[in-house]
Structure 1
Amino acid sequence: MATIMRMPAVMAGATEAALQSWLVSVGDEVSVGQTVAEIETEKAVFEHEADEAGVIAGLLVEPGQAVAVGDPIAVLAGTGETAAEALSAAGVGSAAGRTESAPAPESAPVSAPAVAAAQGAAAATPSMQDGSAPRRIFASPLVRRLAKERGLDLATIAGSGPGGRIVRRDVDGLSVAVPVAAPPVAAEPQSSPADATPWTDVPHTPMRRAIARRLTESKASVPHFYLTADCRVDALLRLRGEINADRDEKISVNDFVVKAVGAALTAVPDANAIWTPDATRRFAGADIAIAVSIEGGLVTPVVRGVDRMPLGELSATLKDLAARARSGRLRQQELEGGAFSVSNLGMFGIREFSAILNPPQSGILAVGAAAPRPVVGADGGLEVATIMTVTLSADHRVLDGALAAQWLGAFVSSVENPVRMLV
């Protein structure tokens, strides 16, 4: 029997998402777990996998179109069903063969995105080009949003979609400068000086709005407290040098840091937990989110099973996640879960900072740069050691001060005795 594929809820609290691209075509046979589309949210692009097997009878949404969560996006035909039978059974019918540029007759074959895509598109204001008659401009909601954010005139962009529709790929990489705003004209005499510095308003992107919303909620609703410790990393740097001596893919200090966070969660299992409305949820393994800076913001992909992962495998996993985060190719499940995050600004020369928790996680470790500092040696004399300062931001609903201190002590012990992380 026919199966309707619907827009998934790819992010908590999301009400809609945009279908960036289809990876299948009408007539293709798909299996359970096969990636069939790329879905774009305000934070990243996710690969959407088929929940059921079948043959693609119709694609109901065009690339670039924003769709409400739960709305139909495709129809799968079951064994022995024709495409027309599957579409009819799903309540779509022959309308699935239409686009807004050239409505098809009732008997048209089903091979293009559905009329639902046309209903989601809007014509922009008619424009004159070289004295010719006004033309209607068709663009998906996602494209209209991107054009508004970037200050683009859709009338100047040639669409490569069906019927000249402007799709995401047509506006990627395009932008114009936002004009500098002049001081406002007031009916009353202006109180600001005549030579006031001009400013530029940069419109908020969806990602920036999402970051602002989540972190404001976190800071306002989660009782943060902070613990800071210094780690002596000379032994870690020596071990890293020995490991990297005959490796093409180098192990980084951050790889050791993430491994040490996993080791501390194993040593202090009560800290490996998050707050839920009804209970404190404790995890059996160490899943750790890593803050990755990308254009316009940051994302926090999660590494699963850090406690069980050899250092070399962890390093490769972290590099892969960071690369796919920056290219917008993370999967939905890679942004979910975990009790702790790591945010490392050491590569920017930052000595020490405090991070805001990423709910529902109960801890985030802010890592500063490792640098030579004078320290008091075992004999009471001064010596130079390489010191890295870290700050733990903790959710006081889950972690009390003593428990957080115990966890941070276990982390420092792993960093200062790095061979333990290899066995």
Structure 2
Amino acid sequence: MAYIVKMPKLGLEMKSGELSVWLVGEGEAVTEGEPIAEIESEKTTAEISAKEDGVLRRVLLAEGESTAPGGSVAIVAEADEDISDLEAEAGGGADEAASEAETAEADAEEPETAAASSGSQSAVTRQKSAASETDASDVRASPRAKQVAEELGVDLTTVEGTGYQGSITEEDVESVAESAPTEPAAEQGEVRASPRAKQVAEELGVDLTTVEGTGYQGSITEDDVEAAAESAPSEPAEEPSEGAAGKRVFAPPSARRLARELGVDIERVTGSGKNGRITESDVRAAAESGSEADEAEPEPVEMERPLSGMRRTIADRLGESYRESVHVTVNRGADAEELLAAASAADDALGVDVSISDVLMLAVSAALDEYPAFNATFEDDVHQLHEAHNVCIAVDIDEGLIAPVVRDVDSLSLAELAAERQAVTQRALSGDFTMDDLTGGTFTISNLGVLGVESFDPIINPPQVAILGVNTIRREVVPTDEGDVAVRKRISFSLSFDHRIVDGADAARFLGSLVEHVENPWPLVIAAGGR
């Protein structure tokens, strides 16, 4: 049975998904339950699997492109099955998915928020209605038809659609292109190439007039440009390898780019990824093994470090936070002797591993109880205070810093809190975390004190309004009430907050409450130990 492959929704906060890698090529068979593509959302990666056996007839979303959850990704059907109806349906899939996502977000608003913004909602509704009337006059065409039209230079408004409800199919575009009067490329002064092929040619310095196109009606594809770049006359000509003779190479753009930088023939690399896909590690291994003898010692080059999907997402989110939030950081120190003593006593009494991080989370939760404006998020101009204390703990993993959530800190016993914190931290370190682990946080703690940091300015984790930085514990000479001096262990905190939402005086009071609980944690430990 033919069907459209949709972009899955990886968590409630997912707004779009990027198609990272196709594991199956267009025209190849797929098997039910087997992965056919890898995707990335704002916070995690996943695979799309085939629902039924068939053939990947149409790729609707290219590698590196994104769509909203529910957007059309590909069409799977039997090799000779008519898919024109599905192509027409998929043509509006991305817009419909985005519309459904917007509707779901609007429905999820708190009642008081919806009431407060009813005026603006009405305006938005009127704007959307007007937009819908404008969209109705747009050309209805499948994504593949639009792509072919762009490649062949066909104006879709001149094409008569023969697909479902008059939608334009790929065949309709090709028919118009074949019947249109043509001129020799030399007279036109330009070559026929896809937009992506032109972009790659510009990046690689390839003259498109020297490239032989293998696409439709001789149009130049991205693969044609890359093949021309790899066989440039700057290197001795070689006999075509088995790969050059027809072996299809599956490699993401980052792997191809790295191969060019390292002087590795991508067609001679054996892929270790799914379905033989070549990874960057495969390219580096080929370069280190000396599988190709260089004619001369290569000149030193400045290496690039492409950002991974997760690293890129972290960069985007932190950049968004710093651009949109008004960051202010305040600092305050506290005596840590009782904090350490309480953690040690709880560890002995409860029979579980209790650390100062667990007792500190109790102190943070108590301060959030007194100043709930900090246990909050800020989205769409709404400052939403949350009842549950869902505290994120920053964890450093190979791909970057992530912040899994320890939920309901205010209602957990100390033993439960310690066990849950250890569990979410371990899932983060082992890579077994899920979207649920990373969503729904209301406040974040980032502890760089374990690395010896004495002070830093933590960046707010959007859409939260504040983050607490925990600095190292160190011995300091302090005055005593008796007029002498003593050496005490002290800890300091750095609280960053969004000054649009809360003021500096509020932050000072929050830190004051936190310090009181840190310097006398026993009531909190006793109460939480008995829950």
TM-score (norm. length: structure 2): 0.55
Structure 2: tracts of 5 or more residues without a match: 25-29, 88-221, 232-236, 289-297
Query: Alpha-carbon deviations, 1:145-170, whole Å to 9, x = none?
Result: 355468674334323678x6416698
Q: Give the direction of change, closer, same or farther, for the CA distance of 1:42–1:383 in structure 2 (3 Å limit).
A: same
Q: Is the 8 A contact 1:44 1:328 kept in 2?
A: no
What's the offset of the Cα at 1:262?
A: 2.2
State whether residues 158 and 170 of structure 1, in contact with CA within 8 Å, keep that contact through their aligned partners in structure 2. no
> Match of 2:340?
237
Q: Does 2:494 correspond to 1:395?
A: no
Matched, 1:16 2:18: yes
Which residue is 1:159 aligned to?
271
Structure 1 position 383 matched with structure 2 position 486:
yes
Matched, 1:145 2:228: no
Choose the corresponding residue for 2:52, options 49, 57, 61: 57
Identity %: 30
Contact 2:444/2:466, CA 8 A, preserved across alignment: yes
Q: Following TM superposition, by how much is the alpha carbon of 1:405 offset from its aligned partner in structure 2, in angstroms?
A: 1.8
Rounded to whole Å, the distance in 2 between the matches of 1:403 and 1:6 is 46
TM-score between the two structures when normalised by the length of structure 1: 0.67
Q: Name the residue aligned to 2:143.
A: none
- Give the deviation of 1:388 after TM superposition: 0.7
Please provide the CA RMSD for this pair.
4.5
How far is the alpha carbon of 1:329 from its aligned partner?
3.1
**1:347 Cα deviation (Å)?**
1.2
Q: 1:289 touches 1:342 (CA, 8 Å); kept in 2?
A: yes
Taking the aligned partners of 1:404 and 1:172, their CA distance within structure 2 comes to 51
The 3-state SS of whatever aligns with 1:369 is: coil
Larger strand share, 1 or 2: 1
| 1:161–1:174 Cα change, 3 Å | closer
Equivalent residue in structure 2 for 1:214, among 295, 300, 317: 317
Aligned residues of 1:232 and 1:385 also touching (Cα < 8 A):
yes
- Is 1:374–2:477 an aligned residue pair? yes
Relative distance call for 1:397 and 1:352 in structure 2 (3 A) is same
Q: Identify the structure with the greater helix proportion.
A: 2
Q: Relative contact order, CA 8 A, sep 6+: which one is greater?
A: 1
> Which amino acid in structure 1 is aligned with residue 421 of structure 2?
L
Higher alpha-carbon Rg: 2
Alignment of 1:21-420 (within 5 A): 39-41=39-41, 44-45=44-45, 56-58=51-53, 68-69=66-67, 70-72=70-72, 91=86, 125=227, 132-133=241-242, 134-136=244-246, 138=248, 143-146=252-255, 148=257, 153=264, 154-159=266-271, 165-166=276-277, 171=282, 181=300, 201-245=304-348, 250-420=353-523
Matched AA of 2:455: E
Q: Provide closer, same or farther for how the CA distance between residues 216 and 156 of structure 1 changes in structure 2, counting only shifts above 3 A.
A: same
d(CA) in 2 for partners of 1:411, 1:175: 55
Preserved contact between residue 465 and residue 501 of structure 2 (Cα < 8 Å): yes
Deviations 1:383-423 (A, max 9, x none): 12111110100111221122222222222222222223331
Check whether the contact 2:7–2:72 (CA below 8 A) recurs between aligned residues: yes
Q: C-alpha distance in 1, partners of 2:344/2:20?
A: 46
- Could you give the per-residue CA deviations for residues 151-202 of structure 1, whole angstroms, max 9, x where no partner exists? 674334323678x64166984996969x9856xxxxxxxxxxxxxxxx6543
**2-structure distance, mates of 1:360, 1:372:** 36
Check 1:19–1:158 CA distance in 2 against 1; reply closer, same or farther (3 A cut).
closer
Preserved contact between residue 18 and residue 39 of structure 2 (Cα < 8 Å) = no
Counterpart of 1:257, as a letter, is L
Q: How has the CA–CA distance of structure 1 residues 305 and 217 changed in structure 2, closer, same or farther, with 3 Å as cutoff?
A: same
Q: Give distance in 2, aligned partners of 1:175 and 1:320.
A: 39
Distance across 2 between alignment mates of 1:180 and 1:420: 67
> Gaps (5+ residues) in structure 1?
29-35, 77-82, 93-120, 183-198
Contact kept in structure 1, 2:474 and 2:489, CA below 8 Å: yes
Distance 2:82 2:476 in 1: 70
8 Å Cα contact 1:16/1:66 also seen in 2: yes
